[in-house]
Amino acid sequence: MEVLKTVNLKKIYQVPSGDVRALDGVNLSIEEGEFVAIVGSSGSGKTTLLNLLGGLDRPSEGSIYVRGKKLEDMESEELTIFRRRNIGFVFQNYNLLPILNVYENITLPMKLDGMRVDEEFLNHMIDSLKLREKLYHMPETLSGGQQQRVAIARALSTKPAVLLCDEPTGNLDSVTGMEVVGLLKSSAYEFHQTIVVVTHNEEIAQMADRIIRIEDGKVKGDTYEE
């Protein structure tokens, strides 16, 4: 089932020297349960694409659909609520709240949305991500890999339709980075998540089910890994 779709997606920035086409007519269809890597050189448009897919920015032209809902038709408040309930984010810098412990960081999105915590699902996820012994630790006491695992658990806690990850291994050493991507991949299968990862690391991209290559704001390649 199609969970994420773009139609002729464009993002144009106006600068004194002329228009900059960060994205120039991107058409994508991503199915439920896919683990997709978006790769490309610096400035290719891959992070711009991720921000648009997540409703963090608005397109200049074209459309984005998540679970059949057209993002650009939503008003700001409606989009915020929809995004919180349907799209999870994992960033390079973790973005954990330093005044909350691990458990509080993980459950924060549910509390913000007034959702009941699914303790069975939460406990299973915590064990899968090997966070049981760190639940009541503060973020500053954790390693980079542990903080990223907390960020993944937080993003998965609301059971979003799509998990978007922007260079999630950028601040990690290569071994920990591969471990984190392995956890993302296993999460995709175990929790039936659709995961889209932006990365410049070709080795990490090879772990995905599908690699979409972006250059000059256009899709230049779309391959499925065996």
pLDDT, tens digit only, all 226 positions of the chain: 899 999 999 999 988 887 889 999 999 999 998 999 999 988 889 999 999 999 999 999 999 999 999 999 999 999 998 998 899 999 888 899 999 999 999 999 888 888 888 888 889 888 888 899 999 999 999 999 899 889 988 988 888 889 999 988 888 888 888 888 888 888 778 777 899 999 988 888 898 999 999 999 999 999 987 6
pLDDT of residue 4: 95
pLDDT of residue 130: 86
- Asked if residue 49 lies in contact with residue 214, where contact means CB atoms within 8 angstroms, the answer is yes
Tokens standing for 102? Answer: 């691990």
Q: Are strands 87-91 and 162-166 parallel, antiparallel or unpaired?
A: parallel
The residues with which 214 forms a beta bridge, in sequence order, are 219
Quote the pLDDT of residue 226: 63
| Closest to 57 in 3D by CA, of 122, 13, 113 | 13
How many CA atoms, within 13 angstroms, populate the side-chain half-sphere of residue 103? 11
What are the pLDDT digits (tens) for 192-202? 789 999 998 88
Comparing CA positions, the residue from 108, 157, 104, 105 lying closest to residue 128 is: 157
CA-to-CA dists, residue 226 to 26, 185, 188, 195, angstroms: 25, 15, 17, 17
For residue range 63-104, what is the model confidence (pLDDT) as tens digits?
Answer: 999 999 999 999 999 999 899 889 999 988 889 999 999 999
Residue entry with tokens 């997606």: 9
